[in-house]
Structure formats: C-alpha cells, structure tokens
Amino acid sequence: MTLDRRIVLGGGLALAACDRRADAQIPGGQTPVAIPPLRSAAAFPVGVCVQEEQLGDPSLVPLIASQISQVTPEWEMKMEYIVKDDGSFRFEAPDRIAAFAKANGMRLFGHTLIWYAQVPGAFERLDEKRAKFADAYRNYILAVAGRYRGQAVGWDVVNEAVAEDGNGWRDSLWSKKLGKLRHMVLAFQHAREADPDAVLFLNDYNLENLPKKRATFMKLVEALLKAGAPIGGVGTQTHLAADLAPGEITRALKDLASLGLAVHVSEMDVSLTRSRGVLKDRNKLPAGQSRLYAEAAEAFSSLPAAQRFAFTHWGLRDKDSWLKRENPADAPLLFDDAGRPKAAAAAWIGGLRA
C-alpha cells in the first residue's frame, strides 16, 4: 500500500474510534473518556510530533489525522539524521513526513536546525579555518530550511541555548567556532535567507519551573533581536512533571508573551514518573497531570490571538512517548496506549477558552 493511499484511507476512521467509551482502566487509574477532536476544539493549530516509521502504523495514522492540524518531525529533521558521516545529506524520512502533512492538509513545523547537543563528525572534522566552517554552517541551514520552503510554517532555528541553571548560554562546537551570540544570529539570518516566510523560533525547556532560566532565555531573545536576528517566535517545550505547582505555566506564558512575539507550546507532555516528590500521595499524580493540561490550555488560549502560533503535544498515545521508552511505567500523554482519550485530554479541552 502506498503512503498516499494509506493516509487518505486512514483519515476517516478515527472519529468513531475516539468517541467510543471503554471500560478498561488505563495507566494512572484513569478511565477512557469521549472527546471532540482536539483540532476542532481549539481556536489555534494543534500539533504532534511524529517519526517516519509511525506513518506505517494503521492505528496511529487515523488518530493523528482526526486530531491534529500540525506535524513536527520528532528527530528526523535534526542533524543526527540528515548529516551523513561523509558530510552529505539525506532527506528520505523528513520528506515522507512532509508528504504526510501535505496529504492530510496539515501544517509542517521544522525541528531543529541548530542544537548544541548534536555535533556530526563531518562538522568536527572541518578545517580549523573559521571561514570554511562558516560556509558549511550556512550551506547546511540553506539546504534544510530551503528544502521545505513554502511548506514549513516555522522552524526551531536554535534549540536549548540557555544553560540549565540559567547562568548564561551553553557552549557548543557552534559557539566555539562562530561565537556564542554570533552563531545564533547567523543561524536565524541563514534561515530567513532560506525561507522568507517561515516563522523563526528560539526553543527551550524548563522555562515553566525554572524562573531564572526563563529570565535568561528572555534576555537572550532581546540580545538576538538587538543583534539583527529575525526572530519571529519563542518556543517553550513544556515537558512537565505532574506535581508542578499551580500557576507556573500561566506565569511562564505571560512572561514569554510579553516579548510581543509568537508563542509556541512546542513539545508538551506531563510525566507521572518524573515527579519531584511534592505530592506524597502518588495516586494524585493523574489528577495533577490533568490539572496541568487544563492550565496550559487555558493560559495559552488566553494569549492574544496573533501570538498563539500553535500548541504541540509531544506524541498522542502514551506508548509512543520518549518518556515511556525511558520508563515503561509512565503515561504522559492525552491518549492511552490503545489510542483512547484519557481524563487529561478532556481536561485540556476543558481548559480552552473561546
């Protein structure tokens, strides 16, 4: 069966499946609930991450098609996939994800061009001469962002640039070769050159629970703008633990929106196993998870409409989550392993404002 045929046939199957009530219990002691499609409940684009291999899953594809209006490649638009050892590029997987998005009338979001954590050997082996490295850096961004010009609505241009403790910016091969601020300015300028219309984002995590890191992130945005970087938005990954205190998400989104740029909740999930011990009764963690999903939906939908770029969930079914792969006991997403909506999904929809 070809990809396009599978996509088209899958799209009409999910509404009935998602509306079924079931008696089986799901992780965390929750019971499946009936919900409307996420994308029809929200007044802004609702996204999910996908991997290329998941596009062959006959149960996941219709779920995505019924619930989602924007797709982010989970890892196959990163250097770890695209840059081969000899320095050439491969695009088979991201091309297929882009084709899936197009066939289903979904927006495509690019993730990510420059990330401190990924250093392909081909870049490490480049001549020490700064100019040669700078040319390769520009060529990579032009090749990747330019390939999806006209389809990708936005890009995480620089990912996770702020130190975890909030004390400055991370060191990386890119910062050492091109300068701590300069490598980021260049990345945004090259991305704009590659695609004049895509919204360009600085993306990071732990901005909700680490106020110092959030403050440093916001100062970095201001420094980049002052230096001429064409930033159009800020992304907050929103990987949370279920016992995060009430109000933290709301404060973070208000702070980020004060920059006047588009805001993207870019990778949300709520872990039941990464809790910090704030809730002594672990049986309360699923309720905490639902509360956080509701708060995130309410806080995001309360932002000015022009700043609500998209709200992306980092997976739909629990079994597809990176957190589940890390800890099989976790259940961080809106749908259970079988694709049935959980209380967290109903809470997210209930938190939305018209």
SS3 for 187? helix
Backbone phi, psi, residue 73, to 5°: -60, 130
Residue 20 corresponds to which tokens in the numbers above? 């079924």
Positions of E strands within 134-236: 152-159, 199-204, 233-236
Residue 105 corresponds to which tokens in the numbers above? 């009338």
Assess contact for 331 and 27: CB atoms under 8 A.
Answer: yes
Burial 134-154 (b: 16+ CB within 10 A, else e): bebbbebbbebbebbeeebbb
List all residues 6 or more positions away from 40 whose beta carbon is below 8 Å from its beta carbon.
none
Q: Per the residue annotation, which of 52, 76, 248, 267 is the catalytic one?
A: 267
**Overall residue count recorded for the chain in this entry:** 354
SS3 for 335? strand
**How far is it, in rounded angstroms, from Cα 265 to Cα 302?**
13
Q: Per the residue annotation, which of 52, 74, 76, 160 is the catalytic one?
A: 160
Q: Identify whether 160 is a catalytic site residue.
A: yes
Backbone phi, psi, residue 228, to 5°: 95, 15
Torsional class of 231: left (φ above 0), alpha (ψ -120 to 50), beta (otherwise): beta
Q: Identify whether 92 is a catalytic site residue.
A: no
List all residues 6 or more positions away from 186 whose beta carbon is below 8 Å from its beta carbon.
134, 137, 138, 178
User: Which residue in this structure is represented by tokens 């291999």?
Assistant: 53
Paired strand residues for 201: 156, 233
User: What residues are labeled active site?
Assistant: 160, 267
